[in-house]
Homo-oligomer: A and B are copies of this chain.
Amino acid sequence: MKEFVLLFQSKDQKGIVALISDFIFKNGGNILSADQHSTDPQNGQFFMRVEFTVEDSVDADKLDADFTAVEQHFDAEAVVYLKNRRARMGICVSRPDHCLADILYLWRSGELKVDIPFVVSNCEEHRRLVEQHGLPFHFIPATKEERHEERLLSLVKDSDFLVLARYMLVLSNEFLMQYGKDIINIHHGFLPSFKGPDPHRQALEQGVKVIGSTAHFVNDRLDEGPIITQAVEQVSHRDDLAGLIRKGKNLEKRALSEALSKYLDCRVVKDGNKTIVF
């Protein structure tokens, strides 16, 4: 059996679920799970994710092509993924390496089902960790003054999406447009509070009693892209800056690994500046 995931979105209208499930049934498929979301019963947008199996003999390309009729009928956007495909995930990282180490462990242990074509960093010290995992490491000496975005771009093109696993340089809008694919960032603060640098210091100065971490898609506004996951933890007056940073690192690992896991399962759909995480 082959397993597929269908992601579908269109204006909300009657009969979508019926037609899609009928299409799958008629192609000999079996629905394993289905989720939908309607932003508003009147005039809203409709989102659907379906996992289904079909016999191995079914031609995936033909299936995809046949589905075009359904898609056009509802004026929808839809994508069908082979469930066991392995996406190519590029990693960018600056000095803090806790998220990098966590991702590499999850990759090696088979928990993150993904290929990693490269790790790129402006911090040469990470070479050893990356190469010990048998992965290509690229050092690009990017700084705020000289970002080397062209070198970066020519490297990262060879990926299906990027993870900024604590990459401290802001990517230019031009870079974002030329790359043109998803970029997932981990921000070490509880957005929309504490944008920009040094969110733990901001949290300390505000005297908050809960800190957080946010995994989100990158868009052209700093730390304002659609949020995928957020992890939070209680803190108290006993937590100094070092304590907040230590707790924060755990939150970053949790928020980012959960976001990647959902994303790789085709469970994350952008809806304007928000996300649906099925």
Residue positions of A touching B, CB distance < 8 A: 14-19, 21-22, 24-25, 28-38, 41, 53, 97-98, 101-102, 105, 109, 111, 132, 190-194, 206-210, 212, 226-230, 232, 236-238, 246, 249-250, 254, 257, 271, 273-277
Contact = CB atoms under 8 A, between A and B. Distances in A.
B14 A22 contact: no
Question: Which 4 pairs show the lowest CB-CB distances between chains A and B?
Answer: A207-B274, A18-B25, A18-B21, A17-B21
Contact of A31 (B36, B105, B237, B276): B36
Contacts of A276: 237
Given A18-B18, A33-B38, A34-B34, 15 more contacts: A14-B29, A15-B25, A18-B25, A22-B22, A32-B38, A33-B37, A35-B35, A111-B246, A132-B132, A191-B206, A193-B193, A206-B227, A207-B275, A209-B229, A209-B277
A105 B109 contact: no
Contact of A207 (B21, B35, B273): B273
A111 B236 CA distance: 20
23 contacts: A14-B28, A14-B29, A17-B17, A17-B25, A18-B21, A18-B22, A32-B41, A33-B36, A34-B36, A37-B237, A37-B238, A105-B105, A111-B246, A192-B193, A193-B193, A207-B226, A207-B273, A207-B274, A207-B275, A208-B227, A209-B228, A237-B271, A237-B274
